[in-house]
Structure 1
């Protein structure tokens, strides 16, 4: 599968700006076509939708269109973002050659499990992976603007077996 070209657009001041795109899936309406995120404002809208939407749609799967696809036609990576409105915490996960989870509070024990949902499908994470939503938001923006690289604004841990 051919990678989409990185488009440039011109700002008001005449400078060229690279345009990056991420596809997102987080509810049934995306079965026919994934949502497209291309600006930091789109990220804010996504996080708000996850935090204020239905209880069982509080996590999204993201794929950067600037990354390569495997010979099978599927992306070579996956980025998950979850937002829990009650705890004001979120989760980020990055999968490419290994599975990484955000590393949150050291007080949380890995034996404690939290659940996030994509379209009513639960995914379990250790509670130690939860981070404040503003940090999760910044991680998504960095994922978008870096062309799908693992964000550096969060600490990471290898995903433990649950």
Structure 2
């Protein structure tokens, strides 16, 4: 039997990772990130429905949130589509100065409003780990 759900490598107050199954689970995760206790942190998500035969995820999806600006950035990588990393596209006038989540560099243009982050993460969970189509993406 195939496992279902999306694992969020993001730790709650008990120090445990969470499984995201519903839109409410996504909202709860984003709300915790907005509380600012995880400043500069990116949650790493992967779908349990998209793992290799050895049980390892075959894709990467990161969610970074900046509580002070109520913005965030997304990064998606899928080896089936090549070695590129795809970043959310927000305001391209922000230039190339990077922003950081969990020590990883994201292009400044990748910042999008937190409500778009919510929508994209919900789509990721509902689609069993496919890159969301509700926002724009650019490769780097």
TM-score with structure 2 length normalisation? 0.87
State the 1:66 CA deviation.
1.4
1:102 to 2:85 alignment: no
State the 1:116 CA deviation.
1.3
User: 3-state DSSP class of the match of 1:104?
Assistant: coil
Q: What is residue 55 of structure 2 aligned with on the other side?
A: 73
State the 1:147 CA deviation.
1.0
Structure of larger gyration radius: 1
Q: What is residue 100 of structure 2 aligned with on the other side?
A: 115
The RMSD of aligned alpha carbons is 1.8
Q: Distance in 1 between matches of 2:129 and 2:49?
A: 7
User: 3-state DSSP class of the match of 2:55?
Assistant: coil
Match 1:49 to one of 14, 32, 56: 32
* Moved >3 Å (runs of 4+): 55-58
- Give the number of equivalent residue pairs: 134
Match 2:117 to one of 131, 136, 143: 136
Q: Distance in 1 between matches of 2:29 and 2:107?
A: 23
TM-score with structure 1 length normalisation? 0.76
Q: What is residue 10 of structure 1 aligned with on the other side?
A: none
